[in-house]
A and B are shown apart, each in its own frame.
Chain A
Amino acid sequence: MFGNKLQVSLYRYNPEEDKFPYMKKYTIEKPERDIMVLDLLHLLKEDDQSISYRRSCREGVCGSDGMNINGKNGLACITPISSVIKRNKIELRPLPGLPVIRDLVVDMTEFYAQYEKIKPFLQNETTAPEQERLQSPEDRDKLDGLYECILCACCSTSCPSFWWNPDKFVGPAALLQAYRFLADSRDNKTEERLNALSDPFSVYRCHGIMNCVSVCPKGLNPNKAIGEIKSMLHKNKKDIIVSDGV
């Protein structure tokens, strides 16, 4: 229908000017080579300087440019347009469930508040050794698939349980990090961490919908980590962590 043209439908909202958000359509020449969605946004911004979005490293490390691309959350900088384009159309929206500040920029306060809640740092009150707290290679292996999270919020904002209760349900990203510290042999606050997660909302609002696994741009599995936390909560013992981990 559009031949060599690419139609981009972009979520626009400037609270200072617009009463309601709206979708604005842009038609551009289809790039000759496959480019990333972030590059596409740069092309649009050349013509319309008012378009707002976050970006930083542009290589899938900083997690700034998480957005909803044709209905699925992902990082714009590592998503080629060829993988998302449908009938020469691309629809870009902000991450769902979070308040929109402007265009594709969302307010991530609720997301970070949940991250803060799980105390994402090592807690060990024993006397620190002279150099560093050592770990066996097996114990270190347990952290693979956990520490790689870049906090882009793609998973949490694709989770309906997080949409409905972002103040109570910790969300997949923060729960993955919660398990990262529960699984760490150098952390000895396991019981306190588990007690903080034992209410009916923090962990148990996860119904295994698996959107988090489907959208994670780093290929991580928050759902499996949540399952491990649930197992630990049932037994409330640290020794049930299996060595092959997450």
Chain B
Amino acid sequence: MKGSLIWNTQRYSSIFILCYLIYIVSFFISENNINFFTWSNFFLSFETRFITSITFILILVHSFIGLWTVGTDYLTKRTLGFLNKPLARYANIFRNMYSFAFSLLGVVYLLTILYIIWL
């Protein structure tokens, strides 16, 4: 995979997340009478649900890139070997376990979010 694709994905996803925040904040600013019904109307609209889903998928992608970077920086033979030499032998196992853990968390997170938004 091209480094520029990963780099761009992370930057553009953060811009989208910022836009989403502005979208949500603008609701609170523009709406004079905020109560359960106005909030429900706003949040249950197709546009908001769609944008929210995209945003949370992008949060997931953004954090995956960040976590992958952390794993390939700190859970390597070299880095663990700095801490403790025998630990270096298990670096790949640790990194795979770490990747599995955050992938599993990501799937649970995504399913939960989509369930909350759409069902």
Question: CA separation between A218 and B80, bound complex, in Å?
Answer: 33
Q: Is A129 an interface residue (CB 8 A)?
A: no
Please, which residues of chain A bring their CB within 8 A of the CB of B8? 234
Instruction: Assess the B74–A199 pair: CB atoms within 8 A.
Output: no
Q: Is A161 an interface residue (CB 8 A)?
A: yes
Instruction: Assess the A161–B73 pair: CB atoms within 8 A.
Output: yes
Please, which residues of chain A bring their CB within 8 A of the CB of B78? 164-166
Q: Is B55 an interface residue (CB 8 A)?
A: no
Known A-B contacts A164-B79, A234-B8; A200 and B3 likewise in contact (beta carbons under 8 Å):
yes
List residues 16-62 of chain B with CB under 8 A from any CB of chain A.
none
Pick the contact of B3 from A160, A164, A204 — CB < 8 Å?
A: A204
Q: Is A233 an interface residue (CB 8 A)?
A: yes
Q: Is A190 an interface residue (CB 8 A)?
A: no
Please, which residues of chain A bring their CB within 8 A of the CB of B6? 200, 204
Instruction: Assess the A165–B72 pair: CB atoms within 8 A.
Output: yes
Q: Is A68 an interface residue (CB 8 A)?
A: no
Instruction: Assess the A164–B4 pair: CB atoms within 8 A.
Output: no
List residues 163-207 of chain A with CB under 8 A from any CB of chain B.
163-166, 198-205
Question: CA separation between A153 and B32, bound complex, in Å?
Answer: 60
Known A-B contacts A164-B78, A164-B79; A199 and B72 likewise in contact (beta carbons under 8 Å):
no
Instruction: Assess the A164–B76 pair: CB atoms within 8 A.
Output: yes
- Nearest-CB distance from A233 to chain B (Å)? 5
Instruction: Assess the B79–A234 pair: CB atoms within 8 A.
Output: no
Q: Is A230 an interface residue (CB 8 A)?
A: yes
Pick the contact of A198 from B4, B69, B72, B76 — CB < 8 Å?
A: B4
Please give me the residue from chain A that is nearest to B65 by CB atom: A200
Q: Is B101 an interface residue (CB 8 A)?
A: no
Please, which residues of chain B bring their CB within 8 A of the CB of A165? 72-73, 76, 78
Question: CA separation between A204 and B78, bound complex, in Å?
Answer: 19
Question: Which DSSP category, helix, strand, loop or mixed, fits chain A's interface?
Answer: loop
Please give me the residue from chain A that is nearest to B7 by CB atom: A204
Query: What 1/0 flags go to A143-168 for Cβ under 8 Å of B?
Result: 00000000000000000110111100
List residues 216-246 of chain A with CB under 8 A from any CB of chain B.
230, 233-234
Instruction: Assess the A202–B3 pair: CB atoms within 8 A.
Output: yes
Please, which residues of chain A bring their CB within 8 A of the CB of B76? 164-165
- Nearest-CB distance from A200 to chain B (Å)? 4
Please, which residues of chain B bring their CB within 8 A of the CB of A204? 3-4, 6-7
Question: CA separation between A210 and B73, bound complex, in Å?
Answer: 17
Instruction: Assess the A199–B79 pair: CB atoms within 8 A.
Output: no
Please give me the residue from chain A that is nearest to B74 by CB atom: A164
Question: CA separation between A161 and B8, bound complex, in Å?
Answer: 19
Residues of B within 8 A of A (CB): 1-4, 6-8, 69, 72-74, 76, 78-79
Ordered by A's residue number, 6 sampled pairs between the chains whose C-beta atoms are within 8 Å are A165-B72, A165-B73, A204-B6, A205-B69, A233-B3, A233-B4
Residues of A within 8 A of B (CB): 160-161, 163-166, 198-205, 230, 233-234
In the complex, the 7 A-B pairs of residues with the closest C-beta atoms, listed nearest first: A204-B3, A200-B3, A164-B73, A233-B4, A164-B79, A200-B6, A204-B7
